[in-house]
Amino acid sequence: MTDKNLAGKVAVVTGASRGIGASVAVELARQGAHVVLIARTIGGLEAVDDKIKSFGGTATLMPLDLFKLDDLDALGPTLYQHFPKVDIFIGNAGMLGTLAPITHVKPDEFKKVMDLNVMSNYRLLRTLDPLLKASTAGRVVFVTSGVTQDLKAYWGEYAISKVALEALAKIYAAECANTNVKVNILDPGRVRTAMRAQAYPGEDPAIRPHPDDIVSHFMPLVDDDCAMNGECVFVPSTK
C-alpha cells in the first residue's frame, strides 16, 4: 500500500489514546485519513493528536466515556454534522476485568466488562451504520483476542465478552453482505500493551512486539480492495 492512499477517508478509532488504538490511529492518519480519536482521557488523545500533526495529518478529538452507553447514540448524528460518511471504524477499546473463577466475579464487574467490550460496540454500530453505508467502501475492524480460541479457567468475563464481540461482528458482516461495507476481526496476538501487563505482570514487556509493529496487519482490512467479510485475521506473534 502506498502512502496517502486513504486520502479523503474518515476513520473512527476507539481506545485511541494509547496502545494498539493509538498506533492504528497514527498509521491511518499517516496514510491520509482524517481520524476521529475516541477515548476517555483527553491528555492521551492530545498526545496522539500531536503525533499526527507532526507529519501533517489531521484528527478530531472526541473524549467519550464508552461506559455511558446511552450517550453513544448521539455519535453518528454528531459526526454527520461534519462528515457525510464514515469510511473506517476500528472497534479497539476493551478491558480485561478480573482473572478469577467465573463464580467469584462480582456481577457489577461482569456487567462492566460486557458493557465496554460488547455493548459499546453494539451501540456504536447502530449509530455509525448509516454513515458506514454512505461510504463507497465502508470498513469495520474489531479487535479480539486469542482467548476465544482457547477458553480456559479464570479468563471467563474477558473471554465471554470477546466471543460475544466476534459473534456481533460476524452477524453484522452477514447483514452487510449486499452492501459496500466489509466487517472483519483482527487478533493482534501477544502485544506490548497495558492490558498485557495487567494480565501477565511478571512478563518482560520487551519480549513482545510494540503496537507500532503490528499496525500493518490492519491496513489490508481497511483498503478499498478488501474482499474479506466476516473473517478473523490472526497476527503471528512471539510464543
Give the Cα separation of 199 and 192 in Å (integer).
11
CB 20 within 8 A of CB 193: yes
Give yes or no for a contact between 35 and 62, defined as CB atoms under 8 angstroms apart.
no
Is 154 a known active-site residue? no
Of 80, 122, 154, 158, the active-site residue reads 158
Q: How far apart are CA 55 and CA 49, in angstroms?
A: 11
For residue 207, list its beta bridge partners. Answer: none
Pairing type for strands 88-91 and 139-143 reads parallel
Distance (Å, whole) CA 54 – CA 131:
29
For the annotated catalytic residues, the residue numbers are: 158
